[in-house]
């Protein structure tokens, strides 16, 4: 579950409320090291949950201190940036 990956209960509950209960392989691989503050490079197929894999740890950190930590997400194309 997402809780076992280190995500806070409020975030796990929010995911469950939209029927997301099980992490994908890419999410299992990258969420714990991201939460530990390590840099991660991951690759997976379209639709595998890559966006959630990097966005969920960002949301968790922003929730802890919304005034002190910021996030910058760079994308290779404007279209991908719009989707994210």
Which CATH number covers residue 12? 3.40.50.300
pLDDT, tens digit, 9 for 90 and up, residues 10-61: 999 999 999 999 999 999 999 999 999 999 998 999 999 999 999 999 999 9
Domain count of the chain? 1
Q: What is the pTM of this model?
A: 0.85
Domain limits for position 76: 2-83
Q: Which residues of 33-51 are buried (b: 16+ CB within 10 A; e: fewer)?
A: ebbeeeeeebeeeeeebbe
Between 75 and 4, whose confidence is greater? Answer: 4
Q: How many helices (H) and strands (E) does the chain have?
A: 4, 0
């Amino acid at each position: 579950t997402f809780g076992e990956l280190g995500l806070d209960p409020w975030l796990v509950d929010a995911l469950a409320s939209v029927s997301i209960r099980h992490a994908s392989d890419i999410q299992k691989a990258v969420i714990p090291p991201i939460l530990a503050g390590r840099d991660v490079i991951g690759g997976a197929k379209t639709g595998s949950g890559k966006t959630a894999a990097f966005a969920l740890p960002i949301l968790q950190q922003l929730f802890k201190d919304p005034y002190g930590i910021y996030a910058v997400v760079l994308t290779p194309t404007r279209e991908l940036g719009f989707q994210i």
